[in-house]
Amino acid sequence: MTLTFTPIGGEANLLKQKEFQAILAACPQVSSDYSFLNLWGWAETYGLEWAWEKDLVWIRQTLPEETYWAPMGPWHEINWQATRTAHISSGTRFIRVPETLLKIWRTENLVMSEEEARGHWDYLYTTQELTTLKGNRYHKKKNLLNQFLKKYDHRYVPFGAALVTQALSLQTDWCEWRDCESFETLAAENRVIEKTLAHWEKLEGLLGGGIEVNGRLVAYTVAEPLSKDTVVIHFEKGNPDIIGAYQAINQMFLASLPESLAQVNREQDLDDPGLRKAKLSYHPTGFLKKFTVVM
C-alpha cells in the first residue's frame, strides 16, 4: 500500500466521527465491523489504522499480523483498476469483505482468490419479530420474558450518562461471573466496553437501554444505527441470576426504537459454537456475508 496510515484509536479521532459516518452513508453495504464504534473501540486490540484518500477510507489491521479490511466509500463510483494500480500490490489480502464489494471486484477481474468467512457473517433479524416474539419458534424466549415480567418489579430506562457508573459495575460483576481474564476474547471485549462507556458522552449517535430491578441495573445494551433502516447491537449484558434478563433487555430496547429501524444486525459469531447457537436461536432472516479476498 502506498497510502499513509495512522492509528484509529485515541480521543483525537473522535473528532472524525461525522466525517466517517458520511463515508459509511455512501457505502452500498455496511457490515457491523465498519461502524465507527467498532473501529475506534477495537483499534488497540487489532492495531487498526486508517488512511483517507478522496472518497475512500482504507483500513489496515496490524495485530496479530498485517492484513487489510475492505475500504469504505461509494464503491460503485470507484475506478478500481486505477485504484489497484496506485495502491494495491499483487497478493494483497483483504478480510471482512462484504459480498457487495466482492461482486464489484469480480466484475473488475481483480480477485485472485476468495473464501467465505462464515465466522464473520453478520446475523440479520427483523425488529418486529424480535419485539413481538410471536409463534412457536419463539416460545422459549417468550416464556423467559414472561417469567421476568411476572417475577421482577422492573423499570426500563434509555441508556445515558446517568447509567454509565451502574453499567461499569455490572460489567465488572459480569466479568467475574464469566472469568474474563481467563479468556482473551472476553478480556478484550471487556476493555472495549469499558472504553466505550468511559467515552459515552463523546461518542455520537449511540443508542442503548437498561433495566433496573429494585433500583439496581440488571441488564443493559449498547447499539447504534448502522444505516437508515438497520440498528446494530454491539453489547448486551445481563445478570445471569436474573431469569429472563437477556430476553427482557433485547425485547424492551428494540420495542423502544423508531419504526424506521426495521432491521437488527447482531454482528458475527467468530466461529464460536456457543455464540453461534445463541444467535441462531433468535432465527435470523438472513446474513450479511463476508469473505477473505486476495488480489
Task: Please report, for the domain that includes residue 30, its CATH number.
Answer: 3.40.630.30
Q: Could you tell me if 126 and 261 lie in one domain?
A: yes
Say yes or no: 44 and 89 in one domain.
yes
Domain boundary pick from 73, 104, 120 = 120
Q: Specify the number of domains making up the chain.
A: 2
Other Cβ atoms within 10 Å of 254 Cβ, number? 23
pTM of the predicted protein model: 0.95
Cβ atoms of 70 and 34 closer than 8 Å:
yes
* Same-domain pairing of 196 and 240: yes
Q: State yes or no: pLDDT of 105 exceeds 90.
A: yes
Q: Does residue 179 lie within any of the structural domains?
A: yes
Q: Please tell me whether residues 32 and 152 are part of one structural domain.
A: no
Lookup result for grid cell 466479568: 175
Give domain status of residue 287, yes or no. Answer: no
The 10s digit of each residue's pLDDT in 21-48 is 999 999 999 999 999 999 999 999 999 9
- DSSP code of 194? H
Instruction: Summarize pLDDT for 57-77 with one digit per residue, the tens.
Output: 999 999 999 999 999 999 999
**Distance from C-alpha of 94 to C-alpha of 116, rounded to nearest angstrom:** 12
Full domain range(s) for residue 36: 6-120
Residues 6 or more apart whose Cβ sits within 8 Å of residue 283: 125, 129, 137, 138
Task: Let me know if residue 128 belongs to a domain.
Answer: yes
Residue 1 has pLDDT above 90, yes or no: no
pLDDT at 2: 79
Shared-domain flag, residues 167 and 103: no
Length of the chain: 295
Q: 34-53: string of b/e by CB count within 10 Å (b at 16+)? A: bbbbbbbbbbbbbbbbbbbb
